[in-house]
Chains A and B, each alone.
Chain A
Amino acid sequence: MTPLYIKASINYTLIRSRAAEMGLADRTFTDLIGVRLRDLEADLDQRAVSLTMLARLSSVLGVTLDQLVTMDGEPPPALPATADSSDADLLLALLLSYGSLGVEQLLDALNWNRQRLAAAATTAEAAIAATPLGLVVTDQRIACVLRPGALPADVRARLDEGVRTREPLQAHEISRALSLVPNEILGRFHDDPQRYPTTSLTELADRGLVFAVTPCADNAEQATARPHPDLMFALRLSDTPHPDNPNGS
């Protein structure tokens, strides 16, 4: 028997993965949907999720409402068929320059009506159909984004990792990480490893300086950790680094 009250839940994991797959930065996502994803997630009862917002999510992410929630929804409105190709070129040029633009902003700047903008968007979408790019259009914004699958996740992960690891170490980070090294060397002679604030060690773990962050049983705000195998290898204090996982987990 179908219950009278259905608890709707939104698949945030799917939303995040599709957004990452399409290369949508948080800012762009917020521009397109109208609300920050983290604010949505913080709304435990999900009372702030409107039908318009669901439609935007569906349209932007290219997923059905069934995939977003366990309810049917309206498909995104169909766009008119054709437009002048110069309008489409101009629209693409603007979107590649600015990422995403507000519909009203565009209409004001170009002195177009909504029909002309919709036609330009349709033509532009067709023009770039064979490329990794796609257009997403909501009632308020329009953006040029990557098509799902255009950028393999492993390639993106490698690039993201490269960008992250190129950030120079800060003195206070390496200072704390180095303070763990003597204990690592003399560990067998120490019964009680040095404790540090858990948040601090977590940040160092994110930077690839420590691993095996273990909250203390008697105080979760304190933790122990070991210097990262890569750091020990850099100092030539070990023969091998971590074999494959940069975060050592």
Chain B
Amino acid sequence: MADPPEAGSTVTVLIDADDDAAVTTALLDAHDPTAGCVVVHPTPAVSSTSALARDVLRALGRPIGRLSDERISTAGPAFKAAAAWMIAEGVRDLIVLRAQLLSAASWEQLIELARCAGLRLVLVRHGLDRRWELDRVLGEVEHHVTKDLAEVLPDRPVPPTAAAAAAAAPPVTELPRIPSSDVHRFRADAWRRLPAEDFARVDAVYEQGVQAACRWLSSHPDRSPWSESLPQRGVQLVFPPFLPPNEIHAGLTLLNSKFTGEVLRAIAEGLLCVGREWSTLSGLHRWSDVEGLHRFLTELVADSPSRRHTIARLRGAQAGFLLHGLHLALPANLDSANGPGLNTVPFTEDTAARLRAGVAHPVHAAAIAAAMFTALDPDVLATIPISLLADDAAVLQTRPGGIGQLTGTPTSYFVPAPARPLLLAARAFLYLRGASPSQRLLSTSVGSLAATAAVCGVPLPIRTPRIGPPWHTATVCWWVAAALHAEDGSPP
């Protein structure tokens, strides 16, 4: 007896008694994996389950010529790969034509596939032939028999296609040479050195950074220490500036529980040597949400077409941070640094399509994707456990304590939207094969990165040297002043 189906999993047998060509045509027309419906037309005169698995993968758009090389040529791994892709890509309907010609084992595999992926499975019997072994399989699962074609045809939403979106995007051209100055001089130097037209192009990219920073900071829960009341700030300044705000908050809570406001003020004044010259250092506080900062920075540059675009956006982001009272201290050597947006390759819908068309193994595809948007060394990629991929696959983290990283601080990478289904598929595949969250996500595939990339026709980035951490991990952020923007982003 099969395991109970996952939520949403159903089995329907559609009887096409007259073997009507119009029914087959209508069902084939429903095939649209991007809309969640996959229609499989099994290879005639072949009844093996591995052949059916290949048919399912091919219907999903995956290549089946290298399944042996990818070590998923047998039915079990191949069906799990298909299930993983379906889970990741939101496939809801699986329609199998000529199902009466399949073996009982094939029906069992399809039903198991539907259960694993939460699919609505439609087995189409053309003609009136019945085979007792197929009826036996159906007898073991809850199912529904119908002759109504309309009942099994899925709704067809019409999402905008990736091709249409790509066509709408204007072509990107390289920026002119940009200044190497830090934020306080960058825009001015560009204004002084570049012709007006070139400056306008650079400034448009700079503005993207400003706006992105203001949007992110306006919605971030952390607030400037300067936004707190004066007595509270006075006591807060007692704490060393290098402590993260959550630890300062815990200390404040403790002090508040022990002393009255008057006593606290006296303690603060004594420790701060009130009456002596004010030290700027005592007013600095470290930004605590390091993971969030990593995500913001890597998202900001994820689709950056060039190093110059990345630097211009980052300088703009620095300006946005300053407007909110924060100093975003970027590494000095951005011109030659490594990391997202600098030596990575933009991961687009077209890239994802190439990977889907070039590789069937979900982990192989995910490893290529991760290498492209992180530029991490394969040895580093190989150590990432499954648990460090966010539930929605929007963030991928590396283990804390790597070379050049602060101990205990994981490094977060924003995952470009087109790459997420690939990572989700890899995780689903590993879980379907019994992996635990602590097991490695990409380790089985990093050894074949170059070969897989060549097959898919995608470029791999120049790897970030292990001795030089990615730029965003060397970025620090400090509260340095009262915000010049109001919380809603408007001027003070």
Q: Which A residues lie at the B interface, using CB under 8 A?
A: 162, 165-172, 174-179, 181-182, 185, 197, 207-209, 228-231, 233-237, 240-244, 246
Shortest CB distance A109–B (Å):
35
Check A236–B183 contact: CB distance below 8 A: no
B484 touches which of A165, A182, A241 (Cβ 8 Å): A182
Check A234–B192 contact: CB distance below 8 A: no
B450 is an interface residue with CB less than 8 A from chain A: no
Q: Tell me, in angstroms, the Cα distance from A230 to B325 when the chains sit together.
A: 18
Check A233–B323 contact: CB distance below 8 A: no
B342 is an interface residue with CB less than 8 A from chain A: no
Residues of A within 8 A of B182 (CB): 165-169
Contact flags B474-491 to A (C-beta < 8 A → 1, else 0): 000010111010000000
Contacts A165-B180, A233-B188, A234-B188 given: A171-B323 contact, CB under 8 Å?
Answer: no
Shortest CB distance B308–A (Å):
16
In the complex, which residues 308-335 of chain B have their Cβ closer than 8 Å to any Cβ of chain A? 319, 322-323, 325, 327, 329-332
Q: Tell me, in angstroms, the Cα distance from A174 to B192 when the chains sit together.
A: 22
B341 is an interface residue with CB less than 8 A from chain A: no
A166, A168, A174, A233: residue with the most chain B Cβ atoms closer than 10 Å: A174
Q: Which residue of A lies closest to B180 (CB)?
A: A166
Q: Tell me, in angstroms, the Cα distance from A244 to B192 when the chains sit together.
A: 7
Shortest CB distance B226–A (Å):
11
How many positions in chain B have a CB within 8 Å of any CB in the partner chain? 33
Contacts A172-B284, A174-B322, A175-B284 given: A165-B185 contact, CB under 8 Å?
Answer: yes
Q: Which residue of B lies closest to A243 (CB)?
A: B192
Q: Tell me, in angstroms, the Cα distance from A176 to B240 when the chains sit together.
A: 19
Check B188–A168 contact: CB distance below 8 A: no
Q: Tell me, in angstroms, the Cα distance from A228 to B325 when the chains sit together.
A: 17
B188, B281, B480: residue with the most chain A Cβ atoms closer than 10 Å: B188
Check A234–B186 contact: CB distance below 8 A: yes
Check A241–B322 contact: CB distance below 8 A: no
B362 is an interface residue with CB less than 8 A from chain A: no
Residues of A within 8 A of B210 (CB): 236
Shortest CB distance B489–A (Å):
12
Contact flags B20-55 to A (C-beta < 8 A → 1, else 0): 000000000000000000000000000000000000
Contacts A181-B484, A182-B484 given: A175-B185 contact, CB under 8 Å?
Answer: no
Residues of A within 8 A of B484 (CB): 178, 181-182, 235, 237
Question: Would you list the 8 A-B pairs with minimal beta carbon distance, nearest first?
Answer: A241-B188, A230-B188, A175-B480, A178-B481, A171-B478, A172-B280, A165-B181, A231-B184
Q: Tell me, in angstroms, the Cα distance from A174 to B332 when the chains sit together.
A: 16
Contacts A172-B280, A174-B480 given: A242-B492 contact, CB under 8 Å?
Answer: no
Shortest CB distance B278–A (Å):
10
Q: Which residue of A lies closest to B210 (CB)?
A: A236
Given A166-B180, A178-B481, A182-B484, 10 new contacts (CB under 8 A): A165-B189, A169-B182, A169-B183, A169-B327, A171-B284, A174-B322, A174-B481, A178-B322, A178-B480, A237-B484
List 10 contacting pairs A-B, 8 Å CB cutoff, sorted by A.
Answer: A165-B180, A166-B182, A171-B327, A175-B284, A178-B481, A182-B484, A230-B185, A230-B188, A234-B185, A242-B188
Check B284–A234 contact: CB distance below 8 A: no
Check B180–A230 contact: CB distance below 8 A: no
Check A234–B184 contact: CB distance below 8 A: yes
Q: Tell me, in angstroms, the Cα distance from A175 to B282 when the chains sit together.
A: 11
A169 touches which of B329, B482, B492 (Cβ 8 Å): B329
Contact flags B225-240 to A (C-beta < 8 A → 1, else 0): 0000000000000000
Check A175–B330 contact: CB distance below 8 A: no
B421 is an interface residue with CB less than 8 A from chain A: no
A175, A243, A244: residue with the most chain B Cβ atoms closer than 10 Å: A175
B187 is an interface residue with CB less than 8 A from chain A: yes
A168 touches which of B189, B277, B283, B331 (Cβ 8 Å): B331
Residues of A within 8 A of B330 (CB): 168
Check A228–B184 contact: CB distance below 8 A: yes
Q: Which residue of B lies closest to A200 (CB)?
A: B280
Contacts A176-B280, A181-B484, A243-B192 given: A234-B478 contact, CB under 8 Å?
Answer: no
Check B183–A162 contact: CB distance below 8 A: no
Contact flags B159-202 to A (C-beta < 8 A → 1, else 0): 00000000000000000000011111111110110000000000
Residues of B within 8 A of A237 (CB): 484
Q: Tell me, in angstroms, the Cα distance from A74 to B253 when the chains sit together.
A: 79
Q: Tell me, in angstroms, the Cα distance from A177 to B185 when the chains sit together.
A: 13
Shortest CB distance A112–B (Å):
42
Shortest CB distance B372–A (Å):
29
Contacts A165-B181, A169-B327 given: A175-B280 contact, CB under 8 Å?
Answer: yes
Q: Tell me, in angstroms, the Cα distance from A228 to B481 when the chains sit together.
A: 17
